[in-house]
Amino acid sequence: MTKMYNGNYSFEKEQYVDRLMTLSQYAWENRIDRTIVDRWLENFDCNDDRIRALEILTKFVYFSENEILRLCEIALQKLLEKIGAINNEKISINIANLKKKYLTKCRFFGVGGPSESGTSLLCPFRQRNSLSTSLFPENLSKLDLDTEFVVFLDDIIATGDTACGFWTKLEHIAFTGKVRFFYLTLLAYARGKAEVENKTGFEVIACQMFDNSYSIFSDTSYVFPEKEERTKAKKFAEKYGNKAYSDWPLGFLNLQCLVGLHDNIPDTTLPIIWAKNGWFPVFERHKKSE
């Protein structure tokens, strides 16, 4: 990313803000406006840093409600294809046929409590795919004897901690018959997916993967391909990240991400985007307790 600031702050700022307003209108569901951006920029000490902040914000990857619903469709297709492969079905087999043959053997659950993202995703997932409510039992103790595939739904695997913690609880539940466990997620970071696969019995299915280039200060960063610029940007993010969220100034477990979803912003995203305590967020993150 080439630094564009040439001393004319008002001009450079307006160029970036115009771009952000276009993104907000067409990609970010009108989540931000000029007032929010101006208030957010007050977090930063000088015009150089404000331009850097704006530049980083233009690289923010956001998944709208419509995109989430489309990923729900893809998730079911990938699940059925995986089940078909397990049963040696031909690659070319029709999704409708897979649905008819295997869907009744699946039961779907959300990950986490009633208000958490995995559980909240169950309703749009069911509706988008026109699935029967009978496939969504209230709890694991109400599994039918013909259940072969237990599917846990989540919106994102970031570090993998949530899935690993969930598996620890799952291990203590006695299941009737032999079932396979799938962790079906819309989005996943390669690092987190590997963690889940190494430490649990889940078979992970992800609709969209993020490789190491989405850790924006990594050597393969898609935002900062040039080392010198990457070093400066990381120093900037650490400086203000320590003010915004000192526990993890570059995002939880140092994942250094710039990704947000319609329902929430993962804590693995840079906290200069979402932190609240003494910091004004440009995109607000909701904690589990909220």
Q: Which domain holds residue 169?
A: 65-210
The number of distinct structural domains making up the chain is: 2
The CATH number given to whatever domain includes residue 198 is: 3.40.50
The more confident residue out of 34 and 143 is: 34
216/56 Cα distance (integer angstroms):
10
How confident is the model over 5-21, as pLDDT tens digits? 556 999 999 999 999 99
Please report where in the chains the tokens 């009978």 appear, as a residue. 134
| Domain identity same for 28 and 116 | no
Contacts of residue 206, Cβ cutoff 8 Å, sequence gap at least 6: 157, 185, 186, 187, 188, 193
| Domain identity same for 30 and 100 | no
> Is residue 280 assigned to a domain?
no
**Which one, of 16, 61, 28, 58, lies nearest residue 258 by Cα?**
61
* pLDDT category of residue 87 using cuts at 50, 70 and 90: confident
**Which one, of 248, 240, 246, lies nearest residue 272 by Cα?**
240
| Domain identity same for 26 and 144 | no
| Domain identity same for 106 and 199 | yes
| Domain identity same for 81 and 153 | yes
Vertex 126 angle, CA 124 and 127, to 5°: 65
With residue 10 as reference, give the H or E element that holds it.
Answer: helix 9-26
CB 250 within 8 A of CB 269: no
Contacts of residue 16, Cβ cutoff 8 Å, sequence gap at least 6: 51, 54, 55, 57, 58
Per-residue pLDDT at 139:
82
> Is residue 41 assigned to a domain?
yes
Per-residue pLDDT at 173:
72
pLDDT score of 2 more than 60: no
| Domain identity same for 72 and 206 | yes
| Domain identity same for 54 and 69 | no
| Domain identity same for 198 and 249 | no
| Domain identity same for 174 and 125 | yes
196/204 Cα distance (integer angstroms):
8
Q: How far is CA 130 from CA 68, 139, 249, in A?
A: 16, 21, 42
| Domain identity same for 40 and 86 | no
With a pLDDT cut of 90, the percent of the chain lying above it is: 77
| Domain identity same for 70 and 193 | yes
pTM beyond 0.75, yes or no: yes
